[in-house]
Structure 1
Amino acid sequence: MNSEKTPDALKGKADKKVFIKTYGCQMNVYDSDRMNDALTTDGYIPTDTPEDADLVILNTCHIREKAAEKVYSELGRIRKIKDSRANAGKKTMVSVAGCVAQAEGAEISKRAPVVDLVVGPQSYHRLPELLGKAAGGEKVVETEFDIQEKFKHLATPSKEAVRKRGVTAFLTVQEGCDKFCTFCVVPYTRGAEVSRSVDQIVGEAQRLAAAGVREVTLLGQNVNGWHGQGSDGREWGLGELLFKLAEVDGIDRLRYTTSHPRDMDDALIAAHRDLDILMPYLHLPVQSGSDAILKAMNRKHTRDDYFRLIDRIREVRSDIALSGDFIVGFPGETDKDFRDTMDLIEKVTYGSAFSFKYSPRPGTPGATLENQVDEDVKSERLAELQALLASQQAAFNHSLTGQKINVLFEKGGRQQGQLSGRSPWLQPVHVEAPSELYGEFAEVEILAATANSLQGKLIQN
């Protein structure tokens, strides 16, 4: 996290520093940025280390295994920093935010007295107010659900803040989920699906473009389930929203994540066909290739439904690269179920994917299911599955060798005189290029590929 110049209006007031450690998904990255924006008006400036922070925030994620225990372990380290600063006469406030905060609530304050404030994802707009209460000695726990209220009070980032973050940006359009997959904690920590209006989203996109952002990724726990009020009073779907955002001057690329197969409607598929600004990359998690496991997961689609959907998407956009999520070892998963998943991966082929061993999440139906799979079996299956996914990703990357592609340069590269950017398919691309190309697009010939990135050279015009 980079420090920013303090706005003139806050000079003399901005003598407090905040360190935010962000775990998990892109939504948390977005939320951390919004917390920084809200705290700027309260006199805080970001710092890269907790040791010199007056406020430390852990923005947590509940998806990964033993997420809560990892937070408590981190709080043990933060306590030592807080004690050390106290000995030097400096006060440190500590806050736990995010989905673990939502799920654990007051239990965090009981187990970790170092914590002054526990705040759920829907209350970040109240952060300065809640910190004021905590500064007065009150142990504050705020985990109320009111996403619409949060949307109303999203802090508008300053142009300076946006420019510091770069030429790409996340933009939340939707939060929460109504799908209630049996393995997932999101409906319990983020709440029901709520969508921002078209005017709110377009307004934020315009502000981002005015600050120099060239690529926007729309975010939602179930982003293609977005249904927001349009400027004409109708309820719009994500496909219609993408066409509207394509009209925003200065935005040259659009992406969205994370999607559910059940919400890929005709209008959204048409957007992939008709909008060049919509990148040919789609994250569309299937989780399993077994109908029996999909039913146990409450996914409400079958493997054949998924196959037919992929065929429709590839029919309108032949160069699209697919990404996915896979859970190995869900309760009751047999060898045949696992083989069905491997078969699906072989037939679909992915440009990239995320895969995990199933681990029970307290409060979810999956945690109470019988026939839990042995950990050693999970590990063996995951290793086999990840090897297949890695080979497909490497093959896709190598297929781009010799091609000429458009790259948006986002930052300095690993080596002197190098810039790094992203391909249309989201791979990092490293190129020897002048610094003047930062924030610009350029045509690049791909010379080599690794498992995770591409190497290229500028095509001189």
Structure 2
Amino acid sequence: MAKKLYIKTYGCQMNVYDSERMADILSPLGYELTSSPEEADLAILNTCHIREKAEQKMYSDLGRLKDHRKNQDGKKEPMIIAVGGCVAQAEGAEIMRQAPFVDMVFGPQTYHRLPEMIARATRAADKKTGKGRGVVETDFPMESKFDALPQTEISRAAAFLTVQEGCDKFCSYCVVPYTRGAEFSRPVREILEEARHLVQLGTKEITLLGQNVNAYHGEALNGSGEWGLGRLARELGEIQGLERIRYITSHPSDMTEELIEAHRDVPQLMPYLHLPIQAGSNRVLEAMNRKHTRESYLAIMERLREARPDIALASDFIVGFPGETDAEFRETLDIVEKVRYAQAYSFKYSIRPGTPAGVMENQVPEAVKAERLQELQALLNQHQHEFNTQTINKTVRVLLERKGRLEGQLMGRSPYMQSVAVFAPERLLGQIVDVEIKEAHPNSIAGTILTTEIASAA
């Protein structure tokens, strides 16, 4: 009888990728995914330390899992409860102290050891004591976790492929260098092999992942020297059947001319770039240790638009960083007006223990942060809606990825990462089709598939 695996994923696309790999690793052990924590034999919370109140959400979910396990008294082996990801890496000992019923704690660099950890947990003390089994794996291993990963056998029209992990930037507000470790890039050969395998399974779009993905510097195909992300994108563009290439998340300091030129020359590289600036004030950027200025960032925007005039831009923003004045916040709004982002993510600054910004003076009051965030998001939402409205009556290529909420509705993504809704036969799932856009909403667009596309799929 198959065992049931429940995974709750918090935060970034790297965590989404990691959760998928965990499911792949555990599949040979007989684990099948379930969306119901109540029936799980193994429940994993794959945590993120970036989002606000990450720890509180995790402990709340852990309490619910504990209650679910109490209701499994009839089971020969009640649920194993595990915490993975960045919060686990940073606060493993504290998790075991506050939630002693947790069985396993492991960092993002060690999930390839899950079979071994489960075996150790299974051999541990009797579950009736209510005490967890105390398996903790939060050291950074000497070996690469990628060496132990199986290639997925699940067909996905759009797939993630991690090419780089870790961060050497040490932004003063961020815990990623402490939870993901130093920058590591996979060899080009491994990436191309995995990409070809995904395409054979039906993948049409691959998103390259990394904490600082454009810092990629993997070993070249011939073993001599290194390739950057631009060179890698060109090689991926030669794979027959791979129709779309994306990458996230990037740092302005690593936006090379080679990569900008790839946006001009590689048709599979989608005209969309998520390039976080975080703030518009040079003083705040320096305090954040971002290693770029507003001027250098705007120069990159100009070069990108020269190379690819139709490119859509996205960003991240933090408001209320320690010491941020009203005038400095206005500089952030000015950047938004100058760039006019198609999409953006914005957050109030929140203290992350162990980071330099957490002990800075002049912490901004919560009420001020909330007011600034509301004003910033109103402007960002206005620009996003305007960008979506510009697509009305235009024809865009859409990769249909999943069913929508309505009967007969399919959902997909435009080249510019817009969410697109259409009414179409289910047989078109996984296909790239031409859609004439009829409606624009704040967070999505909707349209009609051209009749020639439907007929060709019949």
Distance 1:125 1:27 in 2: 15
Distance 1:266 1:406 in 2: 27
- Which residue, 72, 96, 113 being the options, matches 1:126? 113
Q: Which position in structure 2 is the counterpart of 1:30?
A: 17
Structure 1 residues 86-165: aligned runs within 5 Å? 86-87=73-74, 89-137=76-124, 138-146=133-141, 148-158=143-153, 162-163=154-155
Q: Which position in structure 1 is the counterpart of 2:267?
A: 276
CA contact (8 A) 1:147 1:175 kept: no
- Secondary structure at the residue paired with 2:290? coil
Asked whether 1:178 is paired with 2:168, we answer: yes
Distance 2:244 2:142 in 1: 27
Distance of aligned partners of 1:418 and 1:15 in 2 relative to their CA distance in 1, 3 Å threshold: closer
- Secondary structure at the residue paired with 1:128? helix
Q: Which position in structure 2 is the counterpart of 1:69?
A: 56
Structure 1 residues 18-417: aligned runs within 5 Å? 18-87=5-74, 89-137=76-124, 138-146=133-141, 148-158=143-153, 162-163=154-155, 166-233=156-223, 234-417=225-408
Distance 1:122 1:143 in 2: 8
Distance 2:75 2:239 in 1: 51
Q: Percent identity, please.
A: 56
How far did residue 416 of structure 1 move?
A: 2.2
Letter in 2 for 1:295: E
- Secondary structure at the residue paired with 2:29? coil
- Secondary structure at the residue paired with 1:122? coil
Asked whether 1:442 is paired with 2:441, we answer: no
Distance 1:359 1:24 in 2: 15
How far did residue 415 of structure 1 move?
A: 2.3
Which digits, 9 at most, give the CA deviation of each residue in 1:231-255, with x for residues without a partner?
A: 1222000000000111112210000
Which stretch of structure 1 is more off in the superposition, 270-279 or 417-426? 417-426
Distance of aligned partners of 1:228 and 1:147 in 2 relative to their CA distance in 1, 3 Å threshold: farther
Distance 2:180 2:245 in 1: 25
Distance 2:235 2:314 in 1: 25
- Secondary structure at the residue paired with 2:446? strand
Which digits, 9 at most, give the CA deviation of each residue in 1:356-410, with x for residues without a partner?
A: 0000100000001000001100000000000000000000000010111111111
- Secondary structure at the residue paired with 2:110? helix
Gaps of 5+ in 1: 1-13
Distance 1:432 1:66 in 2: 38
How far did residue 73 of structure 1 move?
A: 1.4
Distance 2:312 2:250 in 1: 14
CA contact (8 A) 1:125 1:155 kept: no
How far did residue 88 of structure 1 move?
A: 5.2
How far did residue 147 of structure 1 move?
A: 7.2
Letter in 1 for 2:174: C
- Secondary structure at the residue paired with 2:238? coil
Letter in 1 for 2:85: G
TM-score normalised by the chain length of structure 2: 0.95
CA contact (8 A) 1:147 1:194 kept: no
Distance 1:440 1:87 in 2: 46
Which digits, 9 at most, give the CA deviation of each residue in 1:307-365, with x for residues without a partner?
A: 11100000010100100000000000001100010011101110000000000100000
- Secondary structure at the residue paired with 2:73? helix
Distance 1:86 1:350 in 2: 53
- Secondary structure at the residue paired with 2:383? helix
Q: Which position in structure 2 is the counterpart of 1:6?
A: none
Distance of aligned partners of 1:147 and 1:456 in 2 relative to their CA distance in 1, 3 Å threshold: farther
CA contact (8 A) 1:323 1:351 kept: yes
TM-score normalised by the chain length of structure 1: 0.94
Asked whether 1:427 is paired with 2:418, we answer: yes
Which digits, 9 at most, give the CA deviation of each residue in 1:43-97, with x for residues without a partner?
A: 2111111111110000000111221122111111111111110255551111000
- Secondary structure at the residue paired with 1:370? coil
Q: Which position in structure 2 is the counterpart of 1:8?
A: none
Distance 1:196 1:82 in 2: 39
How far did residue 32 of structure 1 move?
A: 0.5
Letter in 2 for 1:38: I
How far did residue 178 of structure 1 move?
A: 0.2
- Secondary structure at the residue paired with 2:109? helix
CA contact (8 A) 1:174 1:226 kept: yes
- Secondary structure at the residue paired with 1:388? helix
Letter in 2 for 1:269: I
Distance 1:69 1:438 in 2: 38
Distance of aligned partners of 1:438 and 1:92 in 2 relative to their CA distance in 1, 3 Å threshold: same
Quote the RMSD (CA, aligned, Å). Answer: 1.1
Distance 1:62 1:86 in 2: 33
Q: Which position in structure 1 is the counterpart of 2:129?
A: none
Letter in 1 for 2:291: K
Distance 2:42 2:361 in 1: 44
How far did residue 413 of structure 1 move?
A: 2.5
Gaps of 5+ in 2: 125-132, 453-458
Distance 2:258 2:315 in 1: 21
